[in-house]
Structures are given as C-alpha cells and as structure tokens.
Amino acid sequence: MTLLRNPKQRKLLFSAGLSWMFDAMDVGMISFVVAALAKEWSLEPEQIGFLTSINSVGMAAGAAAAGILADRFGRKSVLLWTLLIFSAASGLSAFATGFGILCVLRFVAGFGLGGELPVASTLVSESMPAKERGRAVVLLESFWAVGWILSALIAYFVIPDYGWRIAFGIGAVPALYALYLRRAIDDSPRFAEIKKAPVSLSKRIAIVWSPEYRKSTIMLWILWFTVVFSYYGMFLWLPTVMVIKGFSLVKSFEYVLIMTLAQLPGYFTAAYFIEKFGRKFVLVIYLLLTAVSAAWFGNATTEGMLMAAGICLSFFNLGAWGGMYAYTPELYPTAIRSTGAGLATSFGRIGGVIAPLLVGFLVGDKVGISSIFMLFFVTIIIGALAVLFLGKETKGTELL
C-alpha cells in the first residue's frame, strides 16, 4: 500500500493509533473492573450500569467540545489536551475510595476519551490522499482492538492477583506518551489553509444543518446512536453477562479475551473492502452481520455457540466501527469537519449513556439475556437502513 511507503503518513497513523490504543485500553478496562467491583463493593446491577454510563456522559460532552475546539484551535493541540485529561483521570481512579468519587473520575476520563477520538480520525483523514484515506482511518481504528486486547490481558493477569486499582494505575501511562506526541506529529495541512479565516461556531452549526448537509447529518446521527448504543450495551456488559451465564470471573475474562482477538481481522477486512467496494457497502453488510451475531449470542445455549457468536459479534461490530470513523469526516468540508464529526459522535454517545443503564435495569428485573440482545438486533438494523437509504458514497472523492 502506498500509505505504508510514505514515512510521514505512516508516522502519523502509528502515532495517532497509539493514542487510540490507550483510549480503548481505558474503555475496555472499565468493563472488566466493574465485574470485579461488583463483587468487592457489592454493587447492584443498576450501579454497574450507572458507572459504565457516566463514562459515556463524559464522552458525549467531550466529543462535542473537542470537535468544536478543533475547528478553531487545530486538531493537534486538542488531541494532546484530551489525551492528558483522560490519562490523568484514569490514573486517579486507582485511588478512588468510594462509588461516588469513582463515578466523578470516570466522567472526567470519558470527557478526554470522547474528545480525542473524533479529532484523531479527522486529523488522519485530512492528512491522507483520497485513494488511501478510508483504509488509513480504518487502520487507525484497528488500534482500538489492540487496546481492548491489552485491557483483557491486564484483566486476566493483573486484576485477579493484584486488584483493579493497579489496572487503573496503568491507565495513567498515556500522559507520558502525550509529551512525545507533541513533537512527533503536525497539524492537518487542510486546517492550516482555513486557520487564517476561522468560521464562527454558530455558522458552523448552521452549515451542519443546512439543506446541503442535513440529510448526511441525520444519517450520521442515527448511525452513531445505534452503533454506540449497541456496542456499549453489549461489550461493556460482556464479562458480567458471561458471569450471569454461569462462568467464573477468571473464565469469563479468558473467553472475552478470545472474543476480543476477533476484532483485529474485523478491522483488517473492513480496511480492504472499504477502498474496494466503498463505505456504504462495508457499513451496511457489517452492521447486518453484527445484528445477526447479536441475536445468535443472546440465544446461544452451549459454550461453543456462545464463543462462536461472540467472535462473530466482535469481528463484524468492530469492522463497522472502522467504516463509520472513515465515513464520518468525509461528509463535511474542512471548515466544519471536526464540528460535524464531533456533534454526530456526541449524539451517538447518548446511546452509550442509555444502553448500559438500560441493561442494568433489565438484568435487575430478571429480563432474559436473549430478550436484551434482541433489542440490540433491532437497533443495529435501524442503523444499517439509515446508511442504505440516506447515505451517499464518498469512496475516492477529494475532501473539500
């Protein structure tokens, strides 16, 4: 791939990818930590749902704020600040003395996390040639799988013997990486072109909802909400669901680690198909197969079926995430790109707030896992249909 032969582009992709990896490691960590905390602090299902949701509340606020600021002050500076915010809050979470304090710190960590992701994808998207742009952003997203694998490994080898506080302490490491990133990457060349004549916030929001972009904005908001709702509802509860299905804490961590490994080939196949068949093809097909996998997982009756369905769920769901991050920045011009992407991401994060809470209440009310996962089946189908009927293809087009 020409992308891999260009040293500057390769360095940007790898540098931004590592920050993405640290984000995923932190998000993944909370899903394993709550399973341990539920036992140590005797948390109710509703409390588990609240703790995972408060992280998404922060992500929603962070995505909107960072997207708006990145169109005013640049992608690089906002990327660095969000990285510092989330890593500091994650490290401090290791010293939480109670449920309330931990919730506050997870909100702050979520703010940094939510802000970094759309800004990083915008920066990479704007810095790549049209024929490699989609593949580059999907490969950036593949670092998310690496982060989840690291969190699963930390959960499996660290939490049972050393406790959840050490796991959160490891989350402070990205603060050191931000110091390297400050010198390693440059801001987007496209942002440099518009920096001399910035567009006001009110005008940027007006353009996002103008007749020219309204259809794309509606499609993106539906897509982001349905994907984030289903992802956080399913994956943040996955270790706990495995415990509910009768597996020990250590065994559930082991199985989730195996399922998580399937994320990487999901990303890599999506990276190949996205430049061959287009963004809409990848999103619609991968979302439909995610929906089928969710229904299968919820109704699995044997250990083998549970593992196979979980692997398919990871493979297709994360491939769809890669396509979504590649697609989103391409639908707006440079002057409002980060704002448009940030607002869509922020609206999607509302789904990430609602889903873990909803699952917590449903589990508390003894609703079956099969019924819960059928809810996700329907949600994902809605997202696929939105892309199919409202989305436009951006494969190979030059950014405005």
Q: Is there a domain that residue 12 lies in?
A: yes
pLDDT (0 to 100) of residue 385: 97
> Is the residue at 312 inside a domain?
yes
What integer pLDDT is reported at residue 375 of this predicted model? 92
Long-range contacts of 36-43 (CB under 8 A, 24+ apart): 36/159, 36/163, 36/164, 36/249, 37/164, 38/240, 39/249, 40/164, 41/99, 43/99
Amino acid 223: pLDDT: 96
Domain that holds residue 260: 2-181+201-390
The reply to whether 187 falls in a domain is no
251 within domain boundaries:
yes
In a domain, 308, yes or no: yes
Stretches in the chain below the pLDDT threshold 70: 1-5, 179, 192-198, 236-253
Assess if residue 186 is contained within a domain.
Answer: no
What is the pTM assigned to this prediction? Answer: 0.80
CA atoms within 13 A on the CB side of 157: 6
pLDDT of residue 196: 61
Number of domains in the chain: 1
Flag whether 65 is in a domain.
yes
pLDDT (tens digit per residue) in 27-57 = 777 777 777 787 778 877 778 778 877 887 8
- pLDDT for res 1: 46
Inside any domain, residue 195: no
Q: Which CATH number characterizes residue 340's domain?
A: 1.20.1250.20
